Structure 1
């Protein structure tokens, strides 16, 4: 079975923190962040749960490669990526 992959970027309510992640089930994963299922995680600790950007890939392995690429970027470069699809950093619903 081939799984889709998603790379996503979350922020907190003050938009001071960014988190880049990868998943095969975006809706479920965002819900986990929002509910702080992993209570000791970075995102739970800093209340990072607002979806502001995502990309979809036909294969999860491609999403993993892209996540690693984006994680290596500066904050400025990540902000530019977000602004291409979401210039006002609106919270996305999925």
Structure 2
């Protein structure tokens, strides 16, 4: 199983969309600022607000590209449908 996920900073101003096979490990890396020069570390983007599972890496990458091509308004709507409070989903994993 592969995952497409969206992270946000504490104020939900900055967001990041990514793909991983191990969602728990990958979000933990973001939260630990494993790469201090990364976009997620610079803007403290550590809150998991959305994720979906896909059966293959190809479908995950295609979905990631699709979401990244969307406007911010459309990305917000995607998160709002599943997580209207933009709460951190990481503790539920």
Give the TM-score taking structure 1 as reference length. Answer: 0.94
Give the TM-score taking structure 2 as reference length. Answer: 0.95
Deviation at 1:88, TM superposition (A): 1.1
Residue 39 in structure 1 maps to residue 36 in structure 2: yes
Matches within 5 A, 1:21-32: 21-32=18-29
Structure 1 residue runs without a partner (length 5+):
none
Cα RMSD over matched residues?
0.7
In structure 1, what is the equivalent of residue 78 of structure 2? 81
| Matched pairs, number | 91
Runs of 4+ with >6 A deviation:
none
